[in-house]
Every structure is written in structure tokens, then in C-alpha cells.
Structure 1
Amino acid sequence: MGSKPTSEENSAKGLPGNDSPTHITSKSPDLKESRAIYELDKSDGLHIMYVTILKSGSSKNKPVFSFSEMNNTSGRMPDNEADPQVEVIIQEGDETGPVKGGIGFNEKTANATLEIRGNTSRAANQKSYKIKLNNKAGLWQEHKILNLNKHAFELSRVRNKLSFDYLKLIPNMSSLRTHFVQLKVKDLTTTVPAKEFVDYGLYTDIEQPDKTFLKYHGLDPNGNLYKANNFLFQRYPDVLVEANDPRYNKSEFEKILKINASENHTKFLHMLDEVNDTSKNINDIVDTYFNRDNFLTWMATNILLDNTDTINQNYMLYSPSNSETWYFLPWDYDGGWDWYGQGPKETKLRASWGNGIANYWDSLLQRRFFKDPANVKQLNEKIEELSKIITKERTQSFLNSYHPIVTKFVNNAPDINTLPAGGISFFENEYKRLVNVPELKKKDYYKSLENPMPIFLGVPEIKDNVTTFYWDQSFDLQGDELSYDFQLSKDPQFTKIVAEQPGLKIVHHAVSGLTKGTYYWRVSIKDSKGNTQIPFDDYTDVSNNIYYGMLEYIVN
């Protein structure tokens, strides 16, 4: 952040002419997934699962951690401590109870464990759960782990399922099986054990990406499968190391990339070294270590479905054991389909750079790759290609099939209790709004291409009572000339300007004689056509108001 750009990053090129070749070719084979597994799913199906809490779990600092205590937590456990689990019996049934032939029927002892899942969703009143089946339970829907998502902050309840139902139709990409699940819970660990099951309402189960997933999707269970937790294709040489390296710390490694299959990291680290070697042509690197069409398909899908939270997380990297090729696989679209448009609270959380290529500019791979205008043109073509699959008519068809199930629950407790003001009317309006999202996001994407790319503000330096403010050099996809407008203020609203300088061609500015106090500074990037951009940085005040494109600066 705020580092000096490389010579490669400084080079801007003009857009190619119409006669430039843009056909997407990949030296590596396309992703070969067996899609027969999806034929087992029905978009309008509902599974009813009965869960009996048999025994309280334990955590590192607490010998007994009850189910009710788990549901009262609002964040991750401290010091990388594993989430506590409770032992449960899980049974599949119908509206009358567990049914013969279903998983866990007539079971009297635990056949699974249950724990809280998710990140921000832990702060919700209604939790999401991960249920791990033990060996005697076997598999349910060909997977061993049920990820039950409550979608507490996703007001349509269907963004994830809609996305993965679409991904089943998109070539050179995988999907994850999803199911609507009604969860009923009976807690026997309370002071007065429950006698009846309590309805916890509607959940969406999503398939766990692991070796079992690879096997049943016709992929290689002996290959590599990483889930990005905080990964921007940076090298992190002291953390991302071989498993036999004395420095290897799996828990630290997994803060960046969760290891879901093989723990042999050799070819992954080699690929990462190549991506970070800016002396080498990025097109050669992509064509050697990735499938270009898969990469562009993943990017285009995220843009059309507006899944912006895929910069450093919510995706997977997969490589078969007999291949050097890496494929992007999807994970979690709960924040897609214009999640930020749900209401005024959510709208304030979206920065102006959060559209299109600019949204990914902090990732080294995308930043290098899309500095070649021919690659931008290929992304445009991929977006047009997928727009023939992701249509308003098909979206409406999916939504129509889900609607009877979802409305059954949002009209009743406990799910109706999480709807905002307006209740069921709000839900219906939000639900209908999804139909137009891909078309609108395609328009936003093309508009965003005209803007300069976002940057990071650097660390100011003081010498002889002169403060010099630094920032990164921006980049323009059309090669337009750029300038920078600098401002320094005593308030984050910038009504008390202390210093300003428009039209800078350099990436620093000096201010003399600043007295003790708190300041706020920002840089606006402008191209020769008047298109603007702000930095990635933001400042949050004590009232949790977010101000994008600026930083606080304190003079002691």
C-alpha cells in the first residue's frame, strides 16, 4: 500500500483496433466437471431436517459450552481457538417428523456435530450452522457436511441459490449443490430438556468444497483445492511455504488460504512466484498456469451477478494432481445481486470503485492482466457471451420456482421477525428487484471502464516542519493522461480545508507548518476526459460513519 509502482505497472497502452485478435484461447484444457450430479437437485424442493442436541460441547477456555451459549455468541473465538461443537442427532423427515429411510431414522446416539458458521453472520440473532456427519451417518445428498445458511442480512433469501443454479449452466465453471432446508431443533441440554422440536425456519444448504465434492463432481480428489480467505496473489514468503518448511504454520497459512484438499503446496507456490515476477509477461504466465477462459468466465460471472466480495475471498483455486493448471471455482454469492441496493444502510457500504475491473485492482493477478487492453476486450466479449445465458427470462423462471417455498417461511415466525419495516411488502419488492440486476450491472461495468483505477494512499513523512503526502500512481485502461487533486482538511466532510492542490502530475504533495491536531486527506484521480476515481482507503468515525477515499492523519 502506497508502494512505488513497478515499470510494468507504469506502462499504459491504447485500446486495440477492431481488427485486433480477441478470440479466447487457452493452452490448458477446460475444466472437466461431471454435471450429472446436478440432475439430483430440484430448484423447488424443500428438505426438512430434525436436529436433537444431545450433549454440550467444550471450548479451550470453557469446559461446557451449551447450544444456547453458542447462539448468544456474536464473533469468532479468540486466539484462533476452534469453534465449540455440540453433539447432535440429525434426521431427515417430513412435516410430521423423521421418516423411515431418511438419514438418522430411529437413531438414539449422536451421528453428527453442530457448530456456528460464517463470519459477519455470527452477529445476527438467527445463526447459520455447520453440521458434520460422522462415519456411521454416511452421506446426505452425497456430502458429509451440511452448511446451513440463514441469510440473516440477505433479504430475498435466494441470492446464493439463484447464483449456483445459474453456475450449473455456465461452461468451464463448476457449481455447488444447494438445497432449501427447514430446520427443527430439540435441545436436551437445557435445565428443562425440550420435549418438542422448535421451528428455526428456512435455511439454504450449500455443498462443502472438499475432497468429497471433488470426487462427486468428477474432479480430482487428490488435487489441490484452496479457499481464499484473504488472498490477493501476493507472495507472503514467510507464511506461504512448503508443509515441510520449518517456518510452516498451517493456521497462519489458512488465514490466507484454507487448505481443502492436498497439503502439497509446491506447484501453488511456483505459480505464485511467477505471478509476482513482474519481469515476465503476464499473458505468458496466465496461459501457462491458468485456463484463460475459466479465469475470464469467473470474472464475468462475478460482474454480471454483482458478487463484489470476491477480491480476496469467497472463491477457490483448484488444480488436478497431474496438471500445472489452476482453475477458479465459485464460493458464496450471498452478497451478490446488488446486495448493496437493499436499502439506505447497505448503500452506504459500497465504495464508488466497487464495480468491474476496478473492484479487483488490489489483486496482483488482475492488476497485471487487465493492463493489457486486449484482455479487457476479451472480458467484454465474455460478458456478452454469458449475457445470453444469464437472461431476465431465465432469472424470472428461477425466482418463480423458489417463490412458493420462500414466502411460506417469510410470512411466518421466526423468519418474518428478521424482515425490516414494511414486512412482507418489502420482501416482495426486494425479490422482484433481482430480475433486472445482471442487465443493470453490465451497464455499470461498461461505464466503469472509463474511470481511472483506484490507488492506495501512502504514509506521510515529516521533515523540517514539512509534511509530504504520498500516494500510488493510478492507471487508465484507455491510456488517458491522469492528474491528481489533493486536499487536506480538519474535518472528514472537507468543509474546513487546510491545503489543496488540483491538477498534480506527480504522486506526492508537501504541506508546510501543520500544527498539532487531527487532519483528513484525500486524493481524487481524474483523466483527461473528466472521469474520476477515489482511493481504496476509507475512514470510519466513532459513530461508524464510513468516508471513502480518505485517511485520518494526526500531528502530535
Structure 2
Amino acid sequence: MRKKKRIDTGEKYMRKDNRLIYIGFILVLVITVGLSILRYDMMHTQDVESDVVASTEVRKEQASSADMKEDLSVYDQDDPDSVVCFYVTVMRGDAGSDTDHSFAEVNNVVRFVDDSHFSDDVYARALVQVGDESGPCMGMLGYGATQSNARIRVRGNSSSVNVQKSYKLDLDEEAGLWRGQSNIALNKSAFDVTRIKNKMYFDLLKTVPEVPSIRTQFVHLYIRDETSGSEVYQDYGFYTQAEVPSRKYLANHGFDKNGYLYKAISFNFERSDVLKTIDDPSYDQAAFETVLSCKGRQDHSKILNLIDLINDRSMDINDIIGTYIDRDNYITWLAYNILMANVDTTVQNFYLYSPLNSKKWYFIPWDGDNMLHVKEDEMEGLSENYGKYEHGISNYWGVILHQRFLKIDTNRKQLEEKVDELYRTINPESVQAMVDAYNRTVEPYVLSNPDFYYLGHTFQEREQILSGLGQEVGDSYLAFKASLHELMPMFEATQDHGNGNVTLSWTEAYDFDNEDITYHVTVADDPGMRNPVIDTFHTLTQMDLQLPSGTYYLRVTASSTSGKTAEAIDKINVNGVYYPGVIRFEVN
């Protein structure tokens, strides 16, 4: 839900080939892990195991499911100290083709309208070449080529409104592959002033069992726009390339390339009118992909069966999470995102994968550049955009899968144990050491134009944000612990019966201690609730009233007998201002 505005271009720096910083980071990490264990024992009273596994490879290979045994050799080329140069020449495609566009037309696309995803892809042709700061290099992708070998479009949703764009490069089959990939995502990470979070998110994940990661690479991008008559490359600055989960991804990581794979676009694990099997006469692929984008086997019956099981209240959720969703993978995925405060993972920013001959589904993470976002949001005045529930387990309460799982005491306990386990090695000390190491590579690019011009922060402000990222992990850990004892949020709704008669309703706020709950109901003609027309307290979850015709706003706040409070999960945007816990309704 972030609304930031920034843009695109940078300055040349020599490629860094030595790995001294990375080696130094590993040494610091080993030391800080030991110190953090002592600190953890002194500061926390939870009864957790004290064994720490030092080797990344050993930890990864502890993954319990044979279906998700990852081929770790896929990460052999990963080097956080390196920056690869991409040289992209943009060309207009054949007349009348889907690539018959100028680069300006490609860049003018906006894929996010009224806080919703909007598919409006415009492509041009491109020649993609890889090299170093001296230019394309022999033996690398596209060297010596003069004809286009790919398509280019803008990628991202809310980030597409920024001047600095992220790009997707689709390599032609004849072009070959770059590191086993034909779909190259170049992320500007315009909402991350540090420009290191996305790579950190996936590099840290490589040390976590049960959940696969993706490969990432820091990139310096140069673009020559032949569609505008340019004959020289322009510096587009610093990017992070992220491996896109696809059939090739599955094969590269040792998974089943013939399996099922979906990207969550706006998916809450509930049935929707647009989610249908391909053989349904009313099936609409474009409508289906507003919820789930199919990246694997073209057969939706298996994912629809999973949705039906999750929504069948007669089914034990622990039978579903175990038989149809891998339990270790699910709990670890949830724990990792909670610890990294990656709150935008409720209905998007993940993939679901299932091998062809398996009942089980697995979570594959996607997009971490909004993790550990609190300090940057505070500095930019965006903290009020978030609801009070957007932390810990309450952040996931609005999704039926997570809610059903989290209502069970033993499940919350197991999740807590997993968060504790991760926190032994992913903690303020180890994360801050990683931040400092990665920033030594990234900073020369980010503090040069074009990136610095559009950064939105001063050098000092960026330094302040960077220096606090480690502590944000600690804050997130404590926020999770607190959420285990908080009142869970609810949803609001209204029904207009005509003639001014309206029913207001809301779901029950859930209390793990079963305390009595009272609801503070406010109705006003402005979203800030400055002039309420209804201001009352209720113990039920519904009330009827009569109102004059017009536009109104509803806010319900729950409170328990011990003083715990919760607001609704709902949120509206009015004239660019977010109002958490509020919905709008009309009376006729």
C-alpha cells in the first residue's frame, strides 16, 4: 500500500571482482551469531534450543520434504560483491506486431490503478548484451549480435508509476540463456532507499531450510533507445536482477519442471467467480490471472481442489496443512516473512508450487524489497498508511488459510518455535553485518546519478536507515511475540435496504483468551471521523439504523475486558490519504 514517487539514470564505476568483502561478512556473521546467542539467552526467557548450525549448506539440507530437496549448486555463481553490466538496445518491432512500439510507449505504461493491479503490457524489441564497464564481453550473452534477441516491457505494479522503471527482458529461444534463465527481471527497488533489501531477503533465505530461495545479482544497466534515434547508451543506474520462478526455475533448482506453479496476484485462498477449470465453457484466462497467474502446468483442477478444502470448515486444518500443504514449508515461510516484517505477503508476493505426482503444495517467496520498512516509512511520513494490525500474526488474520491455522494453540506454539529458531542466526547483529557488507558494493552506484537524483533522501538519511535495519529485525521479533497475545482484527460490511435503512455488520474480533469484547461503532460523513453521526458501543456484530441519503464512512474498533484493542482490516484511500480500519458506503 505504499505510495512513493521517485525515478531513473546513474554513473560508471569499475566492476568489483574481489570477494574480500563477502569473506569478511562471513567472518563477521560467524562471530555475531555466537554473540547473539549469548545476548538472546540474557534478554529472552523463552525456552528454546541452543544449538546453532554454522554451515549454510548443512542447514539447507535439513529440509524434510523430498519434494523440495533443492539443488544448492544453482547458487554457485552468487556473489554479493559483484556487479554485472547489462547493455540493452531498444528497437521497434515489426509493423503491426505486439512489439511495434517505441521505448517511450513502453515506459508510459501504468500497471497500478486505484490501488489495484492493472495488466497493460506494452512491448518493444531489444538486443540484450552482458559485460562489464568496458562494454559487452566475449563469451557473454549477446556478444557480437546486431539483431534483437528479446522483448522488453515495464514490470512491477505500484512501482510502474515511478519515473525510474523496473524492466522485464524476455529472451528469444535462439538467444540462449543467461545463467539458465530466459526471463530476466531487473528491479529498480524504487521504494527501497537502501537498494539492498531484495537481495538480502533472498540471500538470507538461502540459509533457511524448507523454503527455496531465488538467485539475485546486482546489475548496472545501460540502455540505448534506437526508437528515439539515440546512438549511445544512457546510464540507467543500479538494479537488482531476480530469478523469476518458472518452469526453468523449477528445473534449475532440482524441482519438477512439469509441476503446477502459480504466482499470487490477489489471492486470499477463497473461491472466486473467475477461478474456474480451463475446460469450463465460461473460463476466462485474463480474469483468472487477476487472481492467480499460471506459470506451470495448464490444469487448474488441483489448485481449485485445494481452495475448496481450505474453505470446508468440516475439514481439520491440520489435516490440510500436512497432507495438501507441506507443514514445514508453510510454517517456515510464515515465520521468515514475519521476522523480516515483509507484510505485503498476505495475498501476493509468493508462488505456490506442487510436483506433478504429489498432493502437496509449497510456498516459494517473491519480492523482499519492502521488508524491514518501518524506519524508512517513519522518515517519509508513511507510517499512518499501515493498520495497527500489520505486524506479527495479526497481519495474516484476514486470510482464511492463515486464520484457521493460527486459531489453534499448538500451531501458534510451533510457529513461535520456528521464529525463535530463525532468530538465533537472523538477528540484529548478523543482519547489520550483512547490511554493512552489501552497502560497500551498492553505495557508489546509489549515491551517483541518476539514482541519487531520484533517491528521495539525503546521504545522511540513507545512512540513518541503513544503520537501523539490524535493529528492525529485533523490533519485528518483539512485535511478533506481542501479537501472540493481542486481539485479532475483523472485517466490516454494510447492506443498504433502501429508504435510508442500513445494516452495519462486522466479523468477530478473535481473542485467544476468550474475553468479552465490546465494539465501538462510529459512522461519519468524512473518513477522518471528525463529525460522527453515530458514535455508540455494541456487544453484538450487527446493528440496524436509518440515515439520510449520502456517502458515509464506518469504523469499528474492538476492545476486550482487559483493555486489548483491534481495528478492522479494511482500509480506504481518499484523495491520496489512507484511512486504516475504515470503509465507505452509500445510503439511498
Instruction: Assess same fold via TM > 0.5.
Output: yes
| Aligned-CA RMSD value | 2.5
**Of 433, 443, 455, the match for 1:419:** 455
Instruction: Note the 1:1-40 alignment, pairs <5 A.
Output: 29=66, 31-40=68-77
**Of 295, 307, 311, the match for 1:260:** 295
Q: Distance in 2 between matches of 1:405 and 1:127?
A: 22
**Of 478, 482, 505, the match for 2:517:** 482
SS in 2 for 1:155: coil
**Of 442, 448, 468, the match for 2:503:** 468
Identify the residue that residue 508 of structure 1 maps to in structure 2: 542
State the 1:547 CA deviation: 1.7
Identify the residue that residue 400 of structure 1 maps to in structure 2: 436
Identify the residue that residue 290 of structure 1 maps to in structure 2: 325
Q: Distance in 2 between matches of 1:539 and 1:118?
A: 22
**Of 468, 473, 476, the match for 1:441:** 476
Q: Would you say how many aligned residue pairs link Structure 1 and Structure 2?
A: 526
Contact 1:57 1:65 (8 Å CA) reproduced: no
Identify the residue that residue 6 of structure 1 maps to in structure 2: none
Distance 1:440 1:217, change over 3 A: same
Between 209-218 and 481-490, the greater mean CA deviation after superposition: 481-490
Identify the residue that residue 153 of structure 1 maps to in structure 2: 191
Contact 2:263 2:350 (8 Å CA) reproduced: yes
Q: Distance in 1 between matches of 2:312 and 2:95?
A: 46
Contact 1:227 1:315 (8 Å CA) reproduced: yes
Contact 1:57 1:84 (8 Å CA) reproduced: no
Q: Distance in 2 between matches of 1:79 and 1:317?
A: 19
Contact 2:111 2:119 (8 Å CA) reproduced: no
Q: Per-residue displacement from partner, 1:324-361 (whole Å, max 9, x unpaired)?
A: 01111101112111257432432122111111221112
State the 1:401 CA deviation: 2.7
SS in 1 for 2:382: helix
Distance 1:522 1:179, change over 3 A: same
Contact 1:59 1:84 (8 Å CA) reproduced: no
Q: Distance in 1 between matches of 2:551 and 2:294?
A: 43
1:41 is aligned to 2:82: no
Q: Distance in 2 between matches of 1:79 and 1:41?
A: 32
Residue type of the alignment partner of 1:70 = V
Q: Distance in 1 between matches of 2:429 and 2:118?
A: 46
SS in 2 for 1:130: strand
1:225 is aligned to 2:261: yes
Q: Per-residue displacement from partner, 1:498-525 (whole Å, max 9, x unpaired)?
A: 23222x221122335x334443322111
Between 39-48 and 161-170, the greater mean CA deviation after superposition: 39-48
Contact 1:306 1:336 (8 Å CA) reproduced: yes
Distance 1:296 1:254, change over 3 A: same
1:54 is aligned to 2:54: no
Identify the residue that residue 530 of structure 1 maps to in structure 2: 563
State the 1:551 CA deviation: 2.4
1:134 is aligned to 2:134: no
Q: Distance in 1 between matches of 2:260 and 2:217?
A: 26
Q: Per-residue displacement from partner, 1:298-321 (whole Å, max 9, x unpaired)?
A: 101110111111111100111111
**Of 111, 116, 134, the match for 1:96:** 134
- Long gaps (5+) in structure 2: 1-45, 48-62
State the 1:546 CA deviation: 1.8
Contact 2:375 2:468 (8 Å CA) reproduced: no
Distance 1:81 1:72, change over 3 A: closer
Q: Distance in 2 between matches of 1:516 and 1:108?
A: 66
1:311 is aligned to 2:349: no
SS in 2 for 1:400: helix
TM-score normalised by length of structure 1: 0.89
State the 1:56 CA deviation: 4.7
Q: Distance in 2 between matches of 1:194 and 1:499?
A: 62
Q: Distance in 2 between matches of 1:373 and 1:49?
A: 50
Identify the residue that residue 112 of structure 1 maps to in structure 2: 150
Distance 1:59 1:337, change over 3 A: farther
Q: Distance in 2 between matches of 1:163 and 1:267?
A: 30
Q: Distance in 1 between matches of 2:96 and 2:164?
A: 21
Distance 1:113 1:507, change over 3 A: same
Q: Distance in 1 between matches of 2:302 and 2:489?
A: 31
Identify the residue that residue 527 of structure 2 maps to in structure 1: 492
Q: Distance in 2 between matches of 1:523 and 1:227?
A: 33
Contact 2:89 2:126 (8 Å CA) reproduced: yes
Residue type of the alignment partner of 1:244 = D
Q: Distance in 2 between matches of 1:288 and 1:42?
A: 37
Between 138-147 and 80-89, the greater mean CA deviation after superposition: 80-89
SS in 2 for 1:492: coil
State the 1:415 CA deviation: 0.4
Identify the residue that residue 71 of structure 1 maps to in structure 2: 107
State the 1:196 CA deviation: 1.8
Q: Distance in 2 between matches of 1:241 and 1:462?
A: 32
Distance 1:380 1:124, change over 3 A: same
Distance 1:79 1:382, change over 3 A: closer
Matched residues, percent identical?
A: 35
Identify the residue that residue 548 of structure 1 maps to in structure 2: 580
Distance 1:56 1:417, change over 3 A: farther
State the 1:268 CA deviation: 2.1
Instruction: Note the 1:375-394 alignment, pairs <5 A.
Output: 375-394=411-430
Q: Per-residue displacement from partner, 1:454-505 (whole Å, max 9, x unpaired)?
A: 1111114457865432211221123222221112234333332323222x22
SS in 2 for 1:348: helix
Contact 2:260 2:296 (8 Å CA) reproduced: yes
1:520 is aligned to 2:553: yes
SS in 1 for 2:69: coil
Q: Distance in 2 between matches of 1:66 and 1:50?
A: 18
Identify the residue that residue 213 of structure 2 maps to in structure 1: 175
Between 123-132 and 482-491, the greater mean CA deviation after superposition: 482-491
Residue type of the alignment partner of 1:264 = D
Q: Distance in 1 between matches of 2:266 and 2:350?
A: 10
TM-score normalised by length of structure 2: 0.84
Instruction: Note the 1:339-350 alignment, pairs <5 A.
Output: 341-342=376-377, 343-350=379-386
State the 1:531 CA deviation: 0.7
SS in 2 for 1:367: helix
Residue type of the alignment partner of 1:53 = V
Between 218-227 and 73-82, the greater mean CA deviation after superposition: 73-82
State the 1:123 CA deviation: 0.5
SS in 1 for 2:195: coil
Contact 1:486 1:509 (8 Å CA) reproduced: no
**Of 182, 200, 205, the match for 2:241:** 205
Residue type of the alignment partner of 2:372 = W
State the 1:395 CA deviation: 1.5
Contact 2:109 2:122 (8 Å CA) reproduced: no
Identify the residue that residue 31 of structure 2 maps to in structure 1: none
